[in-house]
Structure 1
């Protein structure tokens, strides 16, 4: 099989592609012929040894994938060779064959393409967990999404709309804001041209937003928190800006608000039944057309480094995928 490998920590351009022996499944495991792998912002960090997950060298980036079952290990039930599945394994999916625990695989429903299914688990899984399980977003509430044209941001826009919220999409360029509007955002705010706090106050008539979804961090976090409504919920999703903000605790006191961490990977491990229910709902909504996952860039496996560079430079709109050709 072919595999993209990180043999030494470094930039995306340092990744190499090599031939490796085909894997065999152990007990409870499944070998999947990978059709495509979806990339995420944390792939830019894990190959530089800057992520909380630190695999031993060499390893393949890529956490989520879609493909067909190739072989079943002892004790695996409920899956069949040739069946289309999607899965999340944390890292290691940028290769033509992967071994995954059977419990990490979810059948892909008819009508849902591999390219869509591969990119649903992390971004939509994160966003649904954030909005539903953490913030308990209610119909009629106002949701501000930072980085609204990125993978998790666009997913949060769509899910917020599906859950009945009024979504304010916040991003850094007109094309990104236009994309968020196409996916249901009611209002948009360019935080390179308008102060984020003042803009959110303006768009809510001074009341502030009920929920802030923040995968960006940096200077935007405190500005957004200062625009939150009484008893609002601030969701800490990630730090794409690179800087982890230090938030004055008096803001939470004055606004009676909650700051909530969102770590979908840990949630999926610690609460697998709830996560499985969430993912099944997401797959169903995607197959029904209620959400429309966007894969703006699909490159061959050999260009995985280029694909990750798009994420590192924050030039990606929606999801970035690599196709193995399987």
Structure 2
């Protein structure tokens, strides 16, 4: 164990408890018994947990996500292993890990939850969140599945650059969560080094993370958005010029002309919010693809009208993706440890603020106001 490794697990710990869905928040910081590790689980000490841009709306009931109450909300986290169950084979106490909040049912991979946020699509998913995995990471300690703890090379990621490390902070590592979602869609359509990838919209939390992900994969990026100032910030993510920008004007013919100035694109990746379902960028970006182009849809969450004739003529394939796989998560960590995925200041990524649990309202408010490649983090 390193000098700052996790001490013995205390009998109680502080948690952010969501008592009920109400606007304004019905949330309190309380002491609870610390969970114990059993077969298939680990207890982790939370060093930092991601705050989603829309988290405040979810936990105040403005966005009606299904989850049990009362419960401890949360998200993915950077943590240290505090205890492990008897069937752990490689995880060790004190080890630095990334905890992935996307939990699958062990006896049914179709039962899926987002730990601390969303209780899934079926009765099996609901059972996971209502019982064993009810309480999440907005807490000092958390019980999690062994298979959702991904070991991190601490010496490489946090170490001194003079000794071959990257000098990241644990807060810098938290961006692995934001980037995991678009990485799932990009890998799902097989993005390869050197390909041109259109990302739209590219200026939100997950769109800007998609740009970072595509660059780490060796792709060229055409970033699309309405806000020119935000697009200029996205362009700075690649000083070597692998990011070009195109404003979405709503004029399909004009936008296609601008997009194709860089030659036919190979991939169009979309992660639009629901209100963008009728946006013209779906048509313009698909029409800017070359023959055999691929489309990855991760956003909108509504019925879309796509340019079918253009898609038929150019053999365009479309795949929809919710979240990512564990292999995607391992790949992201591998890219970070190899230096292809740059985090923190080196990658143009900012941590807006670190918040203690007691400042949950300020944390949710700050997260809602963050710009491209910015993150907000709870530090219990």
TM range (shorter): 0.7 to 0.9
Is the aligned partner of 1:182 residue 2:236?
yes
Distance 1:197 1:23, change over 3 A: farther
Distance in 2, matches of 1:283 and 1:65, equals: 14
Task: Give 1:111's aligned residue.
Answer: 156
Distance in 2, matches of 1:149 and 1:35, equals: 28
Distance 1:250 1:281, change over 3 A: closer
Distance in 1, matches of 2:252 and 2:21, equals: 35
Could you tell me which of 278, 290, 300 is aligned with 2:340?
A: 290
Task: Give 2:109's aligned residue.
Answer: none
Unaligned 5+ residue runs, structure 2? 1-12, 102-113, 117-135, 158-168, 344-348
Could you tell me which of 278, 302, 307 is aligned with 2:358?
A: 302
Task: Give 2:298's aligned residue.
Answer: 237
Distance in 1, matches of 2:86 and 2:68, equals: 27
DSSP-derived class of the 1:176 partner: helix
Describe the superposition over 1:60-91 as per-residue Cα deviations: whole angstroms up to 9, x where unpaired. Answer: 33320011111222222212222111101222
Distance in 1, matches of 2:55 and 2:235, equals: 27
DSSP-derived class of the 1:7 partner: strand
Describe the superposition over 1:39-78 as per-residue Cα deviations: whole angstroms up to 9, x where unpaired. Answer: 3356456433857x72211233332001111122222221
Distance in 2, matches of 1:168 and 1:299, equals: 32
DSSP-derived class of the 1:94 partner: coil
DSSP-derived class of the 2:267 partner: strand
Task: Give 2:268's aligned residue.
Answer: 212
What is the CA distance between 1:289 and its match in structure 2? 3.2
Distance 1:255 1:44, change over 3 A: farther
Distance 1:306 1:107, change over 3 A: same
Pairs aligned (count): 307
Task: Give 1:74's aligned residue.
Answer: 86
Task: Give 1:36's aligned residue.
Answer: 48
Does the CA-based 8 Å contact 1:2-1:18 persist in structure 2?
yes
Does the CA-based 8 Å contact 2:196-2:220 persist in structure 1?
yes
Distance in 1, matches of 2:302 and 2:363, equals: 25
Could you tell me which of 300, 304, 317 is aligned with 1:246?
A: 304
Does the CA-based 8 Å contact 2:363-2:378 persist in structure 1?
no
Is the aligned partner of 1:100 residue 2:135?
no
Could you tell me which of 312, 317, 322 is aligned with 2:372?
A: 317
Describe the superposition over 1:107-166 as per-residue Cα deviations: whole angstroms up to 9, x where unpaired. Answer: 121232321323303x3322333222x211233322111232333323321232233322
Describe the superposition over 1:264-317 as per-residue Cα deviations: whole angstroms up to 9, x where unpaired. Answer: 2xx43xxxxxx24x333322322343222324322313333333345546x433
What is the CA distance between 1:33 and its match in structure 2? 0.9
Distance 1:96 1:245, change over 3 A: same
Q: TM-score, normalised by structure 1?
A: 0.81
Does the CA-based 8 Å contact 1:237-1:261 persist in structure 2?
yes
Distance in 2, matches of 1:197 and 1:139, equals: 29
Q: TM-score, normalised by structure 2?
A: 0.71
What is the CA distance between 1:101 and its match in structure 2? 0.8
Distance in 1, matches of 2:361 and 2:256, equals: 37
Once the two structures are overlaid, the 10-residue window that deviates more, 30-39 or 171-180, is 171-180
Distance in 2, matches of 1:180 and 1:42, equals: 21
Distance 1:54 1:253, change over 3 A: same
The structure having more radius of gyration, on CA atoms, is: 2
Does the CA-based 8 Å contact 1:65-1:119 persist in structure 2?
no
Describe the superposition over 1:143-199 as per-residue Cα deviations: whole angstroms up to 9, x where unpaired. Answer: 1112323333233212322333221112343442233222224211233x5746633
DSSP-derived class of the 1:205 partner: helix
DSSP-derived class of the 1:138 partner: coil
Distance in 1, matches of 2:303 and 2:361, equals: 29
What is the CA distance between 1:247 and its match in structure 2? 1.6
Once the two structures are overlaid, the 10-residue window that deviates more, 100-109 or 141-150, is 141-150
Is the aligned partner of 1:127 residue 2:188?
no
